[in-house]
Structure 1
Amino acid sequence: MQGSPLSSTILFHLGPVAISRPVLTTWAIMAVLVAVSWLVTRRLQLRPGRGQAVLELAVTGISGQIEEVIRRDGRPLLPLLGTLFIFLATANLSGVLPGTEAPTGRLETPAALALVVFCAVHYFGIRAHGLGGYLASFAEPKLIMLPLNILSEITRTFSLMVRLFGNVMSGEFVIALVVTLAGLFVPIPLMALEIMLGLVQAYIFTVLATVFIGAAAGSAEAG
């Protein structure tokens, strides 16, 4: 069975930096996604082939989902949120492979992704409002709300991290427990369920990130 999800196996060190198994798995996922993206996009044509048609369908679908959430042009957010969803889906499903643990089942990966969303919220908020206008929005509707609005920014980022970590970790833990108690073939239906939940968690995380970013940038446009 797995060790504590709050600790990670250290594989080697790069100078003073310890490289854990989730970090190495994350690097491998990123390398695979970069390679696949390069192969799929290196010969784009006006008359798409089958692979390009699937790619365009995926891009259009993600862009449409973003626009449904923020109710305006989603293209500025597409590179960030599209990459986030594809990475999350791949990372969540990587735990199905024998001998591989999903990096999102360890605390540091969800924490890093939540931090990316946290920074993106403020980046797009400042870009839409300007620095002064964005900082002033934390005092709305009354100045007394300033501490609560700041606390809200921190707690929702924390909840984003915990939601992803808890759901992925618990799925892997249940499958590992059933394998230990019942043997190899019994958990196959649970693995199918884990695949579905992994995709759902990637979708939920991305939608919440879209909501947070859209809210930070949207009030400027509304005002």
Structure 2
Amino acid sequence: MGVVSSINESLDNTRVGSAASPQNIKKKASDDIQNNFLTLLLTQMKNQDPTNPMQNNELTTQLAQISTVQGVEKLNETVGNLTGQLNENQKLTAAKLVGQGVMIEGNKISLFEKQNAQATASNEVIATPFGFELIGAADKVVLEIKDKAGNVLKTVEMAQGLKPDVYRYEWDGSDTAGNKQPAGSYRFSVSAYSQQGQVPVKPLNYALVNGVSNGPQGILLDVGLDNSISLEEIRQVL
């Protein structure tokens, strides 16, 4: 059945609805679109050809279109609110990390002397932790600790079956022969293997979170040496 309206009906639509309340300070874009749409629809119905009136399916389609516009705006508003809440949660999480050690992608090791309380005792040498992130299961992982020149000081083989995860290794600062190495900067490499061949693996080194900044790139953590990272780059919190 078609929707029929008298063409002699008054086109004055200023009396339709009530005046806007003073409390409605700001309208949504969808409200304006809906009002304009309904005005045009009423005008179209009033001036339609009586011999060829608008069909019900046409009216339903147009009403569905305006409902879609309203639904999209509500969805955008909801997503915007969720994004704001997520940003606030990330700020709180980042602030709690200040002063803590984290594991991030890298292959550096720092070896330093810890001052002992007794002047007669030799200072203890401590290495920053390092490790790796396995992307797939591995039957064997090989770590090679190297000096600045690239010479291999120590090789560590982990032959047990390892699942995809983050692993950490503590170095005692000695080479393969047991000789203690001097304080300084070192590097390491990591390789992983399975029966099918080489397994993807990422080297991880230690970093200390010194501060947090919030800029155009989002929330960044200062880990020293003019290096900043995002929360997503942290593989483990120590």
TM-score normalised to the size of structure 1?
0.26
Structure number, greater radius of gyration: 2
Q: Identify the structure with the greater helix proportion.
A: 1
Q: Identify the structure with the greater strand proportion.
A: 2
